[in-house]
Structure 1
């Protein structure tokens, strides 16, 4: 019992939701100044210490978006030829469909914006590997980059770029996010939605000599993003581990993994293209339920054998359909200008590679356990822990 409690305590913090470590931004540069539209998963904001009396450790669910506005503003810095640009307007909203908050920050710059320096550091003290996928829009052109701890600053030589293009800055901002097609609510003026922009990338000089490679590595980025999403999604890791905790022949394991892969690929695509729409408030408890169910099913399979194992051929595809919707939320959140079909393909490929790497890491030790006389007892112990953990997550995601 003590081991079960320790198991629960170890995973308590990660049980509430998928804290992705990724954020999404659109930056518009126009005559009025600089506008930043920043989209962040709401649960990520629990990591921020927004004041001296209440830290993130005391919070279970995020506060309203405006609560974090000062922290968001402090995470961005815009300089115009070395002089600080100031926030003249800000607004925030809830994006219920992807369980995220969105912030609009408008900066007035004191000079003529010949050279801009845009810096980002919001989550780097908490997650050194945090990444912000950013799309820059200027004079009808766009560029995608990634801001992270190694490259937290974007240098834009605006005057030189405009001269090379023989163009001038746009007269106004758009209030809609040109990087994502998100339905607007009453706080935003739909009449000012962005028109389609040209896809020719900007070619600014940057403080990072490898900046240009960002435009060529987007596919690799999304593969890695999918792999990390599997590795950091503890409920998915636990589910894959539980899937292997039954002593069966190799063809059954391959069949289960294939069925799970096909099923979650289907719902990942359907959810990404909004054919299937389920909010995280429904999907996350269902994923926890699959962990609870697979733990119980393992115990029954270890005791009764083939009749229960045959049932798994039906359960695994159903569980895969549920997990696929959960995989989609991070991909929906990111709108960094990479073509939608390719983004889906590379991300799903990363998910599969991440899943296969977990299986490769776990399968040999687990098979060796089953060669031991008490192997089934060990498997039953882990399965019981997994069932308890899944039940705890189900309660936590439903009532907290």
Structure 2
């Protein structure tokens, strides 16, 4: 694995410039607490798998999707995930199937968002396997840092502050939705105006 690309991967995720990616991870994690860390780790890994597939296909010039369309679709994925959280009736997540779908499928879309960044890093390099692997492992590491932070905050608020889990989910998911919705409006403007 290429350590430089690993470092670039996790630093890119932790960087405020990647807040759209961070918002998606927040939306994906909003319904969980620290005790659910295994479930969330599987979700984040499914997201990374989807992300890695389109990142590789885009870097290899197998697929090309216009940047403004991708920049519109990314916040749409955040909004859909947040609304799904808000509409959940049960206090604790029971079934992960829909969340796995969101993580994997929406990971495909988010991977396209990173492709131009990674292409610029790779330049004319022909062997992309190690840099791509290092970058994706770095992204996964950064996502795990974000997820563990969210789970820790959520657990603290729900368990120590005695806020109902459903209320915390509503707050966090609604806030995430609001920010992402503003991004959707910006995306519409860049697509059509």
Q: TM-score range by the shorter chain?
A: 0.7 to 0.9
Note if 1:271 corresponds to 2:67: no
Q: Cα distance, 1:296 vs. partner?
A: 0.6
Q: Do the aligned residues in 2 keep the contact of 1:285 with 1:394 (CA within 8 Å)?
A: yes
The residue aligned with 2:116 is 329
Q: Do the aligned residues in 1 keep the contact of 2:154 with 2:168 (CA within 8 Å)?
A: no
Q: Cα distance, 1:304 vs. partner?
A: 7.7
Instruction: Classify 1:252/1:219 alpha carbon distance in 2 versus 1 (closer, same or farther; 3 Å).
Output: closer
Provide the secondary structure at the position in 1 that maps to 2:88.
Answer: helix
Q: Do the aligned residues in 1 keep the contact of 2:23 with 2:176 (CA within 8 Å)?
A: yes
- What is the aligned counterpart of 2:174 among 378, 381, 384? 384
Tell me how far apart the structure 1 counterparts of residues 81 and 53 of structure 2 sit (CA, whole Å).
Answer: 21
Answer with 1 or 2: which has the greater Rg. Answer: 1
Q: Bigger relative contact order, structure 1 or 2, given CA contacts below 8 A and separation 6+? A: 2
Provide the secondary structure at the position in 1 that maps to 2:2.
Answer: helix
Comparing 297-306 with 319-328, greater Cα deviation is found at: 297-306
Tell me how far apart the structure 1 counterparts of residues 21 and 89 of structure 2 sit (CA, whole Å).
Answer: 22
1:160-199 paired onto structure 2 within 5 Å: none
The residue aligned with 2:29 is 244
Instruction: Classify 1:392/1:312 alpha carbon distance in 2 versus 1 (closer, same or farther; 3 Å).
Output: same
Q: Cα distance, 1:377 vs. partner?
A: 1.1
1:297-312 paired onto structure 2 within 5 Å: 297-302=84-89, 310-312=97-99
The residue aligned with 1:231 is 14
Provide the secondary structure at the position in 2 that maps to 1:334.
Answer: helix
The residue aligned with 1:350 is 138
The residue aligned with 1:221 is 4
Q: Which runs of 5+ in 2 are unaligned?
A: none
- The structure richer in helix per residue is 2
- What is the aligned counterpart of 1:293 among 67, 80, 83? 80
Q: Do the aligned residues in 2 keep the contact of 1:302 with 1:380 (CA within 8 Å)?
A: no
Q: Do the aligned residues in 1 keep the contact of 2:45 with 2:140 (CA within 8 Å)?
A: no
The residue aligned with 2:186 is 396
Deviations 1:208-232 (A, max 9, x none): xxxxxxxxxx933322221222122
TM value normalised by structure 1: 0.42
Tell me how far apart the structure 1 counterparts of residues 92 and 165 of structure 2 sit (CA, whole Å).
Answer: 15
- The structure richer in strand per residue is 1
Q: Cα distance, 1:302 vs. partner?
A: 5.0
Tell me how far apart the structure 1 counterparts of residues 11 and 98 of structure 2 sit (CA, whole Å).
Answer: 31
Tell me how far apart the structure 2 counterparts of residues 283 and 245 of structure 1 sit (CA, whole Å).
Answer: 24
Report the RMSD for the aligned CA atoms in angstroms: 2.4
Q: Cα distance, 1:342 vs. partner?
A: 2.2
Q: Which runs of 5+ in 1 are unaligned?
A: 1-217
Q: Cα distance, 1:330 vs. partner?
A: 0.3
Tell me how far apart the structure 2 counterparts of residues 237 and 346 of structure 1 sit (CA, whole Å).
Answer: 19
Tell me how far apart the structure 1 counterparts of residues 39 and 144 of structure 2 sit (CA, whole Å).
Answer: 15
Q: Cα distance, 1:328 vs. partner?
A: 1.5
Tell me how far apart the structure 2 counterparts of residues 220 and 304 of structure 1 sit (CA, whole Å).
Answer: 41
Tell me how far apart the structure 1 counterparts of residues 151 and 178 of structure 2 sit (CA, whole Å).
Answer: 23
TM value normalised by structure 2: 0.83
Q: Do the aligned residues in 2 keep the contact of 1:300 with 1:308 (CA within 8 Å)?
A: no
